[in-house]
Amino acid sequence: MSRTGFAAKSYRTRGIILRTQKLGEADRIITLLSPERGVIRAAAKGVRRTSSKMGATLEPFMEVDAQIVEGKSLHTIIQAQLRNPYGHALVADYAAYTAAHAMVETAERLTDSEAESIAPQYRLLHGAIAALARGGHEPGTVLDSYLLRALATAGWAPSFTHCVRCGAVGPHQAINIPLGGVVCHDCRPAGSLSPSPQTVELLAALLAGDWETVDASDIASRTQAGNIVTSYLQWHLERVVKSLKLVERR
Ligand SMILES: [Zn+2]
């Protein structure tokens, strides 16, 4: 017991706010991703009052430093400082905002099940949110690049260059979602997709972070690539990531 009789443990952590939910009259439950501790759900008291300084800090997509007290069922955030106000730039751009929502929803699912890759997942999410907030690339392509890399980090790296069955060097015409990428003419199972060669090239560029190729791509390839990335993600998460339906690609 401490001198005050207050035995609860507290810790400091950096984190990106994934989402917030109302709690009672003036409070919120904040879900944040910490690079060391993974997904944390904690109550923030009084943050919905207009006088609350912490309320403006604990908004989706903000990167914060938080002081958190451990509780039996729910932790409590007692202090939060803004590190990077990415949320401010994102609320002003609908396409970037919906892309960011799909990113944090995916990050929450991947880090809930993949405890060992939390730090690299945090770096990926941070880089992608920062890129969205900066602008400069079409938000749908930033999202698709993030999703492919996040899946690769979780252990499901797709291939868009070599046949996923026999390893033959491409370019290949067909993509098989359950197998995880392109398949050559000989290996191609029934039910494989036949995207355009430009789409396959774009998918490889999104995975590699080749932004020169990505930025030069056309809307048809982006739409087709986006659908393939979504199918690949859903195959692995086995659940629909709801926010993806709201993303418009331009
Ligand atoms: Zn093959």
In angstroms, rounded to a whole number, what is the distance separating the alpha carbons of residues 56 and 38? 23
Q: What pLDDT, on a 0 to 100 scale, did the predictor assign at position 114?
A: 56
Label residue 112 by pLDDT band (50, 70, 90). Answer: confident
Angle (nearest 5°) at CA 113 between 107 and 115 = 90
- Is the pLDDT at 231 greater than 80? The verdict is yes
Gap from CA of 170 to ligand 1 centroid (Å): 9
Gap from CA of 182 to ligand 1 centroid (Å): 9
Gap from CA of 239 to ligand 1 centroid (Å): 29
Q: What is the pLDDT of residues 18-67, one digit of tens each?
A: 999 999 999 999 999 999 999 999 999 999 988 888 888 999 999 999 99
Within a domain: 37: yes
Within a domain: 3: no
- The CATH code of the domain that includes 132 is 1.20.1440
- The CATH code of the domain that includes 76 is 2.40.50.140
Q: What pLDDT, on a 0 to 100 scale, did the predictor assign at position 241?
A: 63
Q: What is the pLDDT of residues 219-230, one digit of tens each?
A: 999 999 999 999
The count of structural domains within the chain is 2
Share above pLDDT 70 across residues of the chain, in percent, rounded to a whole number? 92
Gap from CA of 141 to ligand 1 centroid (Å): 28
Gap from CA of 81 to ligand 1 centroid (Å): 52
Residues 6 or more apart from 108 whose CB is under 8 A from it? 18, 19, 31, 33, 39
Gap from CA of 191 to ligand 1 centroid (Å): 15
Within a domain: 62: yes
Q: What pLDDT, on a 0 to 100 scale, did the predictor assign at position 6?
A: 56
* 128-141 mean pLDDT: 96
Task: Name the residue range of residue 25's domain.
Answer: 10-84
Gap from CA of 30 to ligand 1 centroid (Å): 47
Gap from CA of 160 to ligand 1 centroid (Å): 12
**Whether residues 77 and 117 fall in one domain:** no
**Whether residues 147 and 220 fall in one domain:** yes
Q: What pLDDT, on a 0 to 100 scale, did the predictor assign at position 1?
A: 41
Of 7-11, 167-171, 235-239, the least confident: 235-239
Within a domain: 4: no
Within a domain: 125: yes
Gap from CA of 230 to ligand 1 centroid (Å): 24
Gap from CA of 223 to ligand 1 centroid (Å): 26
Which residue, chain included where needed, has tokens 């067909």? 174
Q: Contact 32/16 with Cβ under 8 angstroms?
A: yes
Gap from CA of 197 to ligand 1 centroid (Å): 17
**Whether residues 140 and 239 fall in one domain:** yes
Share above pLDDT 90 across residues of the chain, in percent, rounded to a whole number? 80
Within a domain: 96: yes
Residue 50, phi then psi, degrees to nearest 5: -65, -25
Q: What is the pLDDT of residues 83-94, one digit of tens each?
A: 999 999 999 999
Q: What pLDDT, on a 0 to 100 scale, did the predictor assign at position 239?
A: 58
Name 67's bridge partners: 12, 79
Residue that wins the pLDDT comparison between 1 and 75: 75
Gap from CA of 179 to ligand 1 centroid (Å): 11
**Whether residues 32 and 46 fall in one domain:** yes
- Is the pLDDT at 2 greater than 50? The verdict is no
Gap from CA of 155 to ligand 1 centroid (Å): 21
Q: What pLDDT, on a 0 to 100 scale, did the predictor assign at position 61?
A: 97
Within a domain: 5: no
Q: Which of 34, 66, 84 lies at the terminal end of a domain, its last residue?
A: 84
